[in-house]
A and B are shown apart, each in its own frame.
Chain A
Amino acid sequence: MSLLEVRDLQTHFFTRAGVVKAVDDVSFDVAAGEVIGLVGESGSGKSVTGLSILGLVDSPGRIVAGSVKLAGQELVGLAPAKLRALRGQRLAMVFQDPMSVLNPVLTIATQMRLALEAHGRVSNEAARARSIDALTAVRIPDAAQRLDAYPHQFSGGMRQRVAIAIALLHRPALIVCDEPTTALDVSIQAQILTEMRGLVRHLGMALIWISHDLATVSSLASRILVMYAGRIIEEGPTAAVLRSPRHPYSRGLLQSLPSRAEPGQDLAQIPGSTPSLLRLPEGCSFRPRCSEKTDACLRMPEIERHGARAFRCHHPHAAEVP
Chain B
Amino acid sequence: MDEPLARIWAEFRENRVAVGALVVVAAIALIALLAPLIAPQNPYDLASLVLMDARRPPGFVGSGGYVHILGTDAQGRDLFSAILYGLRISIQIGVAAGAVALVLGAVLGTSAAYFGGRIEAFIMRIVDLQLSFPAILLALMLSALLGKGMPQLVAALVTAQYAYFARTAHGAASVERSKEYVEAALSTPLPARTVVFRHILPNCLPPLIVVATVQIANSIALEATLSFLGLGLPPTEPSLGMLIANGFQYMLSGRYWISIYPGIALIVLIVAINLVGDQVRDQLNPRLKR
Answer whether residue A95 sits at the interface, using C-beta atoms and an 8 A cutoff.
yes
A114 to B196, CA, bound (A): 12
**Nearest-CB distance from B176 to chain A (Å)?**
9
Q: What A residues does B180 contact at CB under 8 A?
A: 95, 97, 100-101
- Choose, from A27-35, A42-50, A103-111, A195-203, the stretch at the interface: A103-111
Does chain A have a CB within 8 A of B189?
Answer: yes
Q: Within 8 Å of chain B (Cβ to Cβ): is A149?
A: yes
Across the interface, name the chain A residue whose C-beta is closest to B184: A101
B118 an interface residue at 8 Å Cβ cutoff? no
The yes or no answer to A118 lying at the interface (CB within 8 A) is yes
A18 to B207, CA, bound (A): 41
The number of chain A residues touching the other chain, given as a range, is: 20 to 34
Which of A93, A105, A118, A149 is close to B190, meaning CB atoms less than 8 Å apart? Answer: A118
Which of A13-59 touch B at CB < 8 Å?
A: 54, 56
- List residues of chain A with CB within 8 A of the CB of B205: 105
Let me know if A114 and B185 touch, CB within 8 A: yes
B189 touches A84 (CB 8 A): yes
A115 at the B interface (CB under 8 A): yes
Query: B188: which A residues are within 8 A, CB to CB?
Result: 84, 87-88, 115, 118-119
Interface flags for A222-261 (1: CB within 8 Å of B; 0: not) read 0000000000000000000000000000000000000000
Q: Are A81 and B185 in contact (CB under 8 A)?
A: no
- Taken together as a complex, chains A and B put the C-alpha atoms of A54 and B188 apart, in Å, by 11
Nearest B residue to A88, CB-CB: B188
- Any chain A CB within 8 A of the CB of B122? no
Verify if A164 is at the interface (C-beta below 8 Å from B): no
Cβ–Cβ contact B184 & A118, under 8 A: no
B202 sits at the interface (CB 8 A):
yes
Known: A95-B180, A100-B180. A106 touches B199 (CB 8 A): yes
Is there a chain B Cβ closer than 8 Å to A276's Cβ?
Answer: no
Does B203 count as interface, using CB distance less than 8 angstroms? yes
Checking A56, A95, A101, A104 against B203 with a beta-carbon cut-off of 8 angstroms, the contacting residue is A104
Q: Does B179 contact A (CB under 8 A)?
A: yes
Chain B residues, CB < 8 A from A111: 181
Expressed in whole angstroms, the Cα–Cα distance for A87 and B185 within the complex equals 10
Residue of A nearest to B203 (CB): A105
Given contacts A100-B181, A105-B203, whether A87 and B198 have CB atoms under 8 Å apart is no
Q: Are A106 and B187 in contact (CB under 8 A)?
A: no
Chain B residue contacts of A97, Cβ below 8 A: 180
- Contact yes or no, A81 B189, CB < 8 A: yes
Residues on A lying within 8 angstroms of B by beta carbon are 54, 56, 81, 84-85, 87-88, 93, 95, 97, 100-106, 110-111, 114-115, 117-119, 149, 153
22 A–B contact pairs at CB < 8 A?
Answer: A56-B183, A81-B189, A88-B187, A93-B184, A101-B181, A101-B184, A102-B181, A103-B179, A103-B199, A103-B202, A104-B203, A106-B198, A110-B198, A111-B181, A114-B190, A114-B194, A115-B188, A117-B190, A118-B188, A118-B190, A119-B188, A119-B189
Apart from A95-B184, A105-B203, 20 more pairs, CB < 8 Å: A56-B183, A81-B189, A84-B187, A84-B189, A87-B188, A95-B180, A100-B181, A101-B184, A103-B181, A103-B202, A103-B203, A106-B199, A110-B198, A114-B185, A114-B190, A114-B194, A114-B198, A118-B185, A118-B189, A153-B1
